[in-house]
Amino acid sequence: MRFLIWFRSIPLIWKLMPLLAAVVLVAPLPFSGGQPTDRHYRVEAARFAYFPGVLRANPGDRVTIELVATDVVHGLEIDGYGVGVTADPGQPATMTFLADRSGSFRMRCSVTCGGMHPFMIGKLQVGQNQWLWRGAGLALLVVVAGAWKVWK
């Protein structure tokens, strides 16, 4: 009973904001990717970076990554996809996978290759990065929310 009284006393804006936030976070975004194709990327790995550092693909693409190690043994694992490959210098290794999840995924080195190994990171961007858009939307929402109560 006390809860209901407390709930009723909350201004409408505070009841609306969580709802809007949920919408921003969960609502499906319009799909705006191209046609799925086959993509082949030659990624060179040195200590401690990938060249190119950012790979792009459309959702549904069959992506082939050829990992070329240029100094020591390196690996490449993609967060969120769980696929990976290891390459020795002189022996490039290839992996192929279906890019069915969209978003921004970090590629990490999976074989200790020196000091900065834990920070040897690249990015795979499949389609649009929905979390970035949702985050930006949420940021705008909270600016309004933060200003509202005081402004009103």
Partner 1 sequence: MEVKLQDADELTFYPPTPAQSRRITERQSRFDLTQVRWIRRLMDSRWPLFLARAITLAGFVFTILAGLFGSPVGSHNFAIIFVWLAWWTALKLLFIPLGGRAWCSVCPLPMPGEWLQRGGLVSRSERRLGLGKRWPKALRGYWLQAGLFLTIGIFSAVTLTDARVTAWILLGLIGLAIGLSLVFENRAFCSNVCPIGGFTGMYSQMAPVELRVRDGQVCAEHTEKTCYQECPWGVYPLALKDSSACGLCMECLRVCPQDNIALNLRPFGSDLGATRRSQRLDEAFLALVMLGSALAFAAVFTGPWGGLKGAAYAIGSQAWVGYAVGFLGLNLVALPLVYGLVVRLGQQSWKGWASLRRSLANYAQAMLPLGLCAWIAFTITFALPKLSFILNVASDPLGWGWNLFGTADSIIESANWSFTPLLQIGALAAGLFWSVRLIFQLAAQEPPAHKQWRKAGPLAAFSLIYTLGMLWLLVG
Partner 2 sequence: MKREWVALLVVTSLVCLAGLAVAIGWRKQAESILLRASMPETGGWQPVTILATVGEPLHLRLTSQDVTHSFAIGQMDMQPVEVTPGEVTEVTLTFDKPGTYTYYCTRWCGPNHWRMRGTIEVQGDGHFQPEPGAKPPLFVQLGLDIDAPHPAEVTPSAKPGALDGRQLLEALPARYRSQIFYRSNSPVQAWQDLRAEAIVSQLSDDQIWGLVVSIWQANTESETLEIGEALYAQNCAACHGESGAGDGPMADDLVPSLQPMEGHGSTTPIDFTEAANMLGASPAVLHGKITRGGMGTGMPYWGPIFTDDQIWALVDWLWTFQFDYDLEVNHE
Residues that bind partner 2 (CB under 8 A): 44, 46-47, 68-73, 88-92, 111-114
Q: Which is nearer to partner 1, 6 or 35 (CB)?
A: 6
Instruction: Establish how many alpha carbons lie within 13 A of residue 135's alpha carbon, considering only the half-sphere containing its beta carbon.
Output: 5
Give the amino acid at 85: V
Which among partner 2, partner 1, none contacts residue 70 (Cβ within 5 to 8 A by kind)? Answer: partner 2
Give whichever of 10 and 38 is closer to partner 1, judged by the CB atom: 10
3-state SS, residue 94: strand
CA distance 52 to 13: 47
Closest CA to 63 of 83, 82, 85, 41: 41
Contact 65, 51 (CB under 8 A): no
Work out how close the CB of 122 gets to partner 2 at its nearest, in angstroms, rounded to a whole number: 18
Q: Residue 68: which of partner 1, partner 2, none does it interact with, CB under 5 to 8 A by kind?
A: partner 2
Residue 68 or residue 124: which is nearer to partner 2 going by CB? 68
With a CB cutoff of 8 Å and minimum separation 6, the contacts of 38 are 61, 62, 64
H helix or E strand, kind and range, residue 96 = strand 93-98
By beta-carbon proximity to partner 2, the closer residue of 28 and 115 is 115
CB of 4 to partner 1, least distance (A): 15
Residue 72 near residue 48 (C-beta atoms within 8 A): no
| Footprint of partner 1 (CB under 8 A) | 21, 25, 46, 48-51, 53-54, 77, 79-80, 82, 103-104, 106-108, 112, 115-123, 129, 131-132, 134-136, 138-143, 145-147, 149-151
Q: How far is the CB of 41 from partner 2 (least distance, A)?
A: 17
State which residue, 34 or 53, has the beta carbon closest to partner 1: 53
